[in-house]
Amino acid sequence: QVQLVQSGAEVKKPGASVKVSCKASGYTFNDYYIHWVRQAPRQGLEWMGWINPNSGNTNYAQKFQGRVTMTSDTSISTVYMELSRLKSDDTAVYYCARDLLGYSSGWCSGWGQGTLVTVSS
Amino acid sequence: EIVLTQSPATLSLSPGERATLSCRASQSVTSYLAWYQQKPGQAPRLLIYDSSKRAPGIPARFSGSGSRTDFTLTISSLEPEDFAVYYCQHRSNWPPEHSFGQGTKLEIK
C-alpha cells in the first residue's frame, strides 16, 4: 500500500534552515506529484507547493517563494522540502502527501505522518 | 487569490443526525473543490474531490455537491468516528495554488 515516511522532529533557531525528507513506497514513485502542506499549532492547513519527482519541476505557493526548495532523489524514492530563513511562525507540522491522480490535480491522497519543526531561540 | 470561507466554525450534532457543512469561494473555482477530514494527532484524509467524487475507500454516507462558489459536504448519518475537523480545498490553475479553508469542527452534542 502507499506509504510516505517522513524524517523526525527538528528544533531550529531563527534564521536557520530545515530540510525534511519524505520516503515513498508501495507505488511507482515517478508517476505521482508530491505536495507539501503545513499546519501551525492549533491552526488550519496551509499548502506550500508541489514537486514532480520525475522531472524535478516544482511549483511553490507565492507566500513561500524564495524561501522553500523542493527536490527529489529518484534513486531512493525520496523527496525533500527545505525551508530557509526560519522564523518563529514557521513552527508547524510539515506533511508530504501524494497527489491523488498523479499530475498536479491538487488533491492530496496518502499522507506522511508529519514532521514537527520547532523554531525557537 | 481565491479565499475559501467555511461555515459554521463549529457544528454540534448527535450520532445518527445529518451534517451539512458549507464552503464558499470568493470567486468561481468551477468544480475544483475537495474536502478533507482531520482527527486530532492525525494527518488529514481526502474524502471528496472535484466537488462530488468520493475518494477511494470513503463510505457512501459522505457526499459532496456544489459548483462555482458554493459547496456542501453532507454526512447522511453521523457515526461516532465522524467527529473531527473538516477542511475544504480548491485547486487553481493560475496562479497554480491549492489553498484550504479555515476548517469546521464537527463535535458531539
CB B81 within 8 A of CB B61: no
Strands of the B104-108 sheet, one edge to the other = B10-13, B104-108, B85-90, B33-38, B45-49, B53-54
CB contact A9 to B (< 8 Å): no
Q: pLDDT band for position B97 (50/70/90)?
A: confident
Q: CA–CA separation, B70 vs B68, rounded Å?
A: 6
Q: How far is A108 from chain B (nearest CA, A)?
A: 7
pLDDT at B96: 76
**Can you name the residues that pair with A11 across neighbouring β-strands?**
A118
Mean pLDDT of A30-34: 96
Phi, psi of B108 (to 5 degrees): -75, 130
Tally of residues, chain A:
121
Residue with cell 519524505: A22
Q: CA–CA separation, A92 vs B39, rounded Å?
A: 16
**Hey, are the CB atoms on B43 and A47 less than 8 Å from each other?**
no
Q: pLDDT band for position A109 (50/70/90)?
A: very high
pLDDT at B66: 96
**Hey, are the CB atoms on A47 and B98 less than 8 Å from each other?**
yes
CB contact B105 to A (< 8 Å): no
**Can you name the residues that pair with B90 across neighbouring β-strands?**
B33
User: What number of helices (H) and strands (E) belong to chain B?
Assistant: 0, 10
Beta strand pairing call for B62-67 and B10-13:
unpaired
For the stretch B46-65, pLDDT in tens is 999 999 999 999 999 999 99
CB contact A65 to B (< 8 Å): no
**Hey, are the CB atoms on A111 and B44 less than 8 Å from each other?**
yes
The residues in A 87-116 lying below 8 A from B, measured between CB atoms, are: 95, 97, 100, 104-109, 111-114
Which of A35, A45, A60, A65 to mutate to test binding with chain B, by most B CBs within 10 Å of its CB?
A45
pLDDT at A105: 86
